[in-house]
Each structure stands twice: as structure tokens, then as C-alpha cells.
Chains A and B, each alone.
Chain A
Amino acid sequence: MFPTMRRFLAATLLSLLLITGAFAQAPKTTPPPKFFPYAVQSKTLPNGLTILVIPTPEFKDMVTYSTAVFAGSRNETEKGKTGLAHLFEHIMFRHEYGGKPGGYDEAIRRMGAHNNAWTDYDMTFYHPTTFSQNLFGPIQRPDGPVPGLIELESSRFKNLTLNRKTFEVEAGAVLGEYRKVFSDPGEKMVEDFSPVAFPNHPYGHTVIGYREDVENMPNAWDSAWEFYHNYYAPNGVAVIAVGDVDAAKIFAEAEKRYADWKPSHPPQIPAEPAPDGPKQVHVKWEADVSPRLIVGYHTPAIQPGSKETAVSQILSELLVSRSAPLFQKLRYQKQTVTSFSIEGGPEFLEATDPHLLLLDAELILERFRKDGDKYLGDVQNDVIGGIEDLKHFSRQPKAAETLRVIKSKYRNDFLAGLDSTGSIAQLFAWYYRFDRDPRVLDTLLQGIDLLTPQDVDAYAAKYFTPQRRIVTTLWQEQGGAAGAQEGK
């Protein structure tokens, strides 16, 4: 009723909380601040499928009608069958809509849509974008009617039709992608240390899968269908529509198209016991590249709104941004590395189960040839020291001010990232998977808003310990330093 006054009160209370740092959460009587600028409407069907609609009328006549499958390489629990989640990302475009080979693809082309997808550890995301009117069929075209996008998408997700030959050809195409990805030293390092870091959990293999599994994929027909039936099910999927749309119309059409989809009972994911490091992995490389060092720490699972998740969101700003003391030490003061970043990006550690923070440094080849282990050891000590120093973050001069600036930056980067229907759908889906709550983005940002310097200390003390550390190195073999242990 009095939005201005309410916001003022909320702001005052928040600043009090920040000063005392004594309370974990805003009092229940005060509505939490709202950061996500769009309303989210949702409906869950009896079979468990949730449809979320985020109207953004300023993107006139456009809609991204996305389907988030909450399964990725994390759900590949069968030995010798890695890479299936990514294979499905390819195969889903080969759906024989109307019993016709290439039928889905042809209908999309005649409709006119931008259609793509991606796969990650925890989810696979399909995100066609088209004109809002194309959601509902039949769409009239000179060469005959085309079904609406909701019908087309429901058809491939609930009732994929595929012949074995198409499957085998597409499975072969993934090998080409494997070759492309693994000409990158960083990717190879992740592939090699993952099984050392996660001997039990499927995070032990990368999203694209092991080479031998990828090569054998054309023979994985039965396992692929098992994966599809386990995870491409209404209880493991959310439909997220963002754009210039009418939510009620989408709910009605979705009910019609998805109601007969049967829920599944997916298998359990094996848990990983507490890490027992420190561990060390070395990768031999054939080309004459800069030596690489990746220092990793096991980090906790993401739970939007929790203090630990809030800290995890700002780690990249604290450690590898241009203003971060560790970055400045390595890049500007000592100039011992030419690049210092988080391998896989800050989102790498945003995972359903405990995952890893990976600090990635590129070293200078000439110096490594000359000084070898001593140089490498020096950089490694600096990186470890910089990370573990966060245990005393609150004692840094201006810690509270630094945190205030970082929160503000996070908020503004978050808002600037909401710049298209596709990016809004993706950002929403990325965090929605953690708690399946339409308020998730506000919950996430409220958590960050409430952070104190002491929360950073506590996180670092708990997670940045030698037992949780895994260090990976890579260089060309004749290059120099001897003595590193090989992990596998």
C-alpha cells in the first residue's frame, strides 16, 4: 500500500542487521526486498510438471519457451555410459514429429524460430525463441499449417520418436565435438582431476563423457532410452516461458499438451564421502603451451538463501577480479602469471551436490624453463595463501566497505544480465533447479544482501582446508620441472 515507506523501512532494518551482523534473516514481519524485476506465475500439473511464466511485455511479440531438464552428466550413474545427457541434447532435435524423419526440425523451420540447447553437470536446457503467436497452432503457412511451439515441444519431451540409424549417426557427431573440446589444455585438466576429486560421485566425469564412452555411444541405444525414461519425465522437468505472453493461455495449452505425460522414479545419485586430500594431479601435454596450475577446493552444495551459497556467489569477486588482492599480487605486483581466473567460470561451483572452486593460473613458459619447481611452488603457495587468507577476511582494512561494494556490483551485474527473453529464462532456470521455488532469485539475492565479513571468514575456515584441496598441473614434458606426482 505504501511501497516507498515499506522500502525505506526494509532498508533501515537491513542496514541495522548489517551493522550488528547478529541476525541471520530479516524479521518475518518485514517483506523481504525484491530484486528480480519480473512477476513469476506458475502452475503445477497433477503429473508433477511445473510451468512457469514470466511476462516481459517490453520484449514485444517475442517469447523464449524453454524446457529445463534437471538432469545432466550428474545423472550418468552407469559405468561406461558417460555422456548420455549431452547426447540427448543432440538427439532431441532429431525427433520424428508426425512419424516423419526430420519432422520436428522441419516444423520449426517452417514456423520460424531460433532453436538451441546446452548441457551441464546438473541440467540440460532447451530454449527455442520465436514470435509469441507461434506458441499456439495451427500456424497458417502458404505450404500448409504448422503446429504451435507448445505442441511441438511437448511432443518431443514426452514422446520422442527416433530410428536407430539416426541415433547412431548423431552419436558419431558427438565424437567430433569431443575432439574439438579437448584440444584445450584446461578441459583436459578437468577431465583428469575429476575422477581423483570424485571417486564415487558422477561429478568424476566431465559433461561430454570419457573418450571411450563417446566412441562407444552408437552402441548405447538401450541405455540411452533408459536415461530418457528416467529423466525426461514431468517430475524432473520445468517449462519456463519468458516474453510478451499471456500466462493463462499458456497454462491452458500446456495442460492440454502435457497432462498425459507419466512421472518416473529416477535412481539415486551416489554420495561422495568427505574429501581426504590434499591431492595432486599432473597432466602431460604435447604442445608447447604455457604451464598451467589449477588449485581446487571442495565446496558445499548450493542452497539459495543460505549464507554459504551467498559467499560462494562472491568468491570470484574476492579472488580473481581486478580489484581482488590475490589477483593484484599475481598479475600486477609479482607478475608471476599471465592469466588468473576461475576455471569453468564462477558457475562451476554452483552445483546440486558439493562441487569445486577451481583457481586457474597460466604461468610464463621461459621462467618455468629456467626456474622450474621453485617458480611453480612460489605461485602455488601464493594462490593457496590467498585463498586461505579469506579466513581472516573480516580483519582486512575496509572489509565491510569492500563487501558493500561487492554486493552492489553483484546486484547490478545481475540486473544487467536480464537483457533478453533468452537470458532471463536461462538465469531463472539455472537457480530454480536448486529449490524449485519461483521466488528463487529473490531468495538468492536476499542471501547476498545479508552477508557479513564474518560469514566469509566462517566459509573459508570450513572449506578452504588442506583436506579439501586438489592441485593440478600441466606442462609440456621436456619443459622442465620434475617431481610432481601423477594422479592417474
Chain B
Amino acid sequence: MSDKTVLLQDTTAGIATGTNDFFGVFKAALRESNLADNVRLVRVADMGVYNQGVVMTILPENITYANVEVHDIKRIIGVTLKHGNPVKDLLYQPKFRQMRLVLKNCGRLDPGSIDDYIATDGYRALLKAVEQKTPEDVIAELKNSGLRGRGGGGYSTGLKWQFTREAEGETKYVICNADEGDPGAYMDRSVLEGNPHSVIEGMLLAGYAIGSSQGFFYIRAEYPLAIERVQKALDQARDRGLLGANILGSAFSMDIEIRLGAGAFVCGEETALIASIEGKRGTPVPRPPYPSVRGLWGMPTCINNVETLANVAPIILHGADWFAGIGTSSSKGTKVFALTGKVRNSGLVEVPMGTTLRDIVFDIGGGIASGKKFKAVQTGGPSGGVIPEKYLDTPVDYDTLQKLGSIMGSGGMIVMDEDDCMVDIAKFYIKFCVEESCGKCAPCRIGGYQILHILEGITQGRGTLQDLDRLILIARAMKMGSLCGLGQTAANPVISTLTYFEDEYREHIVNRRCPARKCKALLQFSIIRHQCKKCGLCARACPENAITGDREHGYTIDTDKCIHCGMCFDVCKFSAVERI
């Protein structure tokens, strides 16, 4: 009989108490059946399957069982380990919620080796295009695939390419927008660091399709490793004749260079990005004309995001129909999300469009890390909004998220639990936009600042109910009057938190209370007598000497002197400081 491997995940409760040592029992049972030498029993760190009791996978058959009890061991040994057959009533089909398309080879190949990329059919799409397809064919393929821009806007990539191709200009440019700036989002960085050649191939295909011979990577200087790896990949590609004149023996010639951004958020906006590459101050200009007509140095320019470009080669290689078969009717393919915040498994997830938020947060992300109650998930960064629990079963695509008052954005997804204050969240994002606003147009420059000012008032107990109307009014003005996407969408987090969590705003204003206990100025601290051990730690920690008393009589907090810093709450080892 051949060697078998059993990967086993004990329940955490079982390991902690030691009362249910499934692993030990299984091991003893193997010894009893004289299988100890033929079966590798390995306890795993994480099986990726949660709340299903003891889970095990048996290799090489790849049979997975869940909710296994001790009395099932005999059957598993007899049926599966001895004869390779499944025990049907224990079978569990792990849900393959993730689908890897962009990230497929990320983490599977050496980003510093062009051969590794070529071995995964890399640059074959380019070969196929220059040998068998006209630029028009490539554009048609892209249009038929339904690929939409992954940077946030969601515009049809094929149409963008077509407009750039049709626009007149003595030269044309391709730009890869790698100015990823949303808080908590790092999908593009990982793709550039893990599989830079896939993006280069996408740029070459874009260049071939629109008739360009020069491309630029616009990468922010905060991504030194990504820059280093892209540069190395470009050098290798040039070395192998994949950049330069007559690529792969065809008439197509193109080169690509890197341009560094200084990390200004507004430079992710395409017209500001172009200004930055031209060496000017990174501020946007009104559109139209769109860059596809008049872009870099006045020439037709095609700007695509990193993830968009990484999708291109698989589409050309496997066909538009294959790609259009993944996803929903309006949004095709997959989307990479950077899942962060209060979630248990933070990281990158790639799912087909149409996957529900619940699947992403709870199945893949493993739910809330602390076990506390889920409150909302923020998508789309400073241009997006929050989505509350009642909409968790919404299938994620460009249009459904927009209907909910958020956006797909570049793919940041921040999970929040009951400890997060929604007014504070709105304040955080608007503060980000105030700091990042370029200041060129008044609605964004002044509107953002005024919204921040009002929100600060609310979180500090100076809010009035009229403030809520004022917020909406300013938000609307910013949306209508701002020059670029940054200002037009900057108020989205405010509008969406107000829509879904107006009660929380009112609680701050009317009762001067922060339900999440996050807004420190609204908190009242007091010492719970019967829990206090009179150690005096709080009194020593208080920077304002607002805590008086002694080790004999106990301590009290002088609320007039208290500056709500929370030091006493943090240092108390006996949870004797109460904050309400």
C-alpha cells in the first residue's frame, strides 16, 4: 500500500483544553491498525475552513472531511486509509471562492527570472498578437471580453484602446498607472513585485494595439521594491528583445521606462499623472479632451491601471469568450481585493465578479478577528463608502456597489467592527482628502476643509443637528463643482456613513455620546469602586493630575480636570476604569 498523508486541523477548543486531543487519539488508532509507518499524520496551522469542527484532508486522494468525531476514526482508517475510498457522509467540499487570474503566478514564480515567466506561457499572448492578429483584432478581443478598468472608474478597456488608436497624433503613449494610493490597498504593489512581466506584457499588447512605441510605468517612490523589480524585469525584457526594435521578429517596436511619482494621491488621477510625468506640478486639468485624444505631451495616450494590464495577456491567449464567461453580466473577470481591517485573515483575495461581500469577509477572510460584531465594510478608499451588514449578500460588481453609494475603486476593502465609530471613519477619509487635495479648485480645497471642520465639531461634542444638512449641502457642491475625481468623490464616505449610520451621528450630536467609544472627547471616565484595587497606577499615569486619592481610600477622577486621554483606562489592570 502506498504512502498517505493526513492533514488535520484540530478544533482550537480541543487543543486549548486538552480534553479533546483528536490528534493524539488518531495517532494511537493508526498505531493500533499498524499504519503508523505508512500514514503521515500532520497537524496543520490553518486549513482555511472555519467553524466546521475537526477538518482533515487525505492525500494523495485529496479527500476532505469536516466535523469529524472521534468515533469516525475507525471508518476513516478502514475505508479511506486502507482502501482509498471516501466515507461519503463525512465528505466536505471546501468552497473554492477564490479564483486566481491576475494573481495566478504571483507567489509561484521568481519575479527576478524572465524564464520563470516564459515557462508559465508568459509573452505567448504577445507572440500570438504580433504573429496572428492585427491591432484591430486585439482591440476587438478586448472589447468582446468586457474587461473594465480596475483602477476605479470601470471604463471599458477595449473602448479606451480604440479611441487612442483612432485619435490622430504623430506618436502615441501607453502609461501604466501604478500610483496606488488608497489607504489599505496594495494589490498593484503585489502584482508588480510578484509578477512584473505580466504587466509589461499587457503594456506591450496595449502599445501594439494602439500603435505606440513608447510606454511609461508611473510608480510611486514609496514602492522601492516594486520599482527595483520592474526595472530588473524591463532590463531582462530588453535583453531578450522583448523591448526595443522589431519585437519577436515583427515590425512592432516599443520601449518602456519608469517614471517615479512622489506619492501624491492626486497623481493617480490621469490628467494630474500626465502633468507629473511631463515634469509639471501634479494638478488635474478639465476633461474632455480625454488623454486618449490629447494626453502626454499633447499626444494620444492610453492610461491603464496595473491590474487591468495584468488581465490583458490571459485574454489574448485564452480568448474573449473565456474571459466573458467569468463574472456577472455587466462586470467580467475577477477582481483582486486587499482585505484589511478587523478581519481575521487579512491579505489579497481574488474572486470572480459577483461574489458576495459575505463570502469575501466571512468565508475567505475568516470573519472578524476579535469575534466582535461586524459593522460595515469600506470599499473604494477615500472615493468609496461603507456598506452595512444588511447589504452583505450583495454580489460585488461595478454597478451594485455604485447603487449602494460606494464604488469598486481599486480594490481596498476595510472591514470594521462595532468598535469603529462611523463619524470617526468619515473624518479619517475626509482628512486624507484634505491633505491630498492639490488645492487647484475651490470646491475640493474649501469644501473638504469645511466638512472636516464640521466632523471635528461633532466628534468633540460641538455638533448641532443643522450640521447634518450642512454636510449634505457641501458634499453636493463638491460633487458637482470639483475639477477631478478626487474632489468629486471625496465626500462619498461622509454621505454613505450618513445614509447608513445617521443614528450614530445623531447620538454624537444630541446625547454627546460615541456609541463605539472611539471619540475620546465625548467619553466620561470614572472609577468603579468595587473593582478598584487601589493600586494607584491610574493616578500616576494621569498627565493632568486629575485623579486624586490614596492607597487607603481609593481614587476618584476629577471630571473638570480630565482631558479624556484614556491613559487611566489603558493602564488599569483590573478593568476598574469605566468609560461611557
A and B: partners? Answer: no
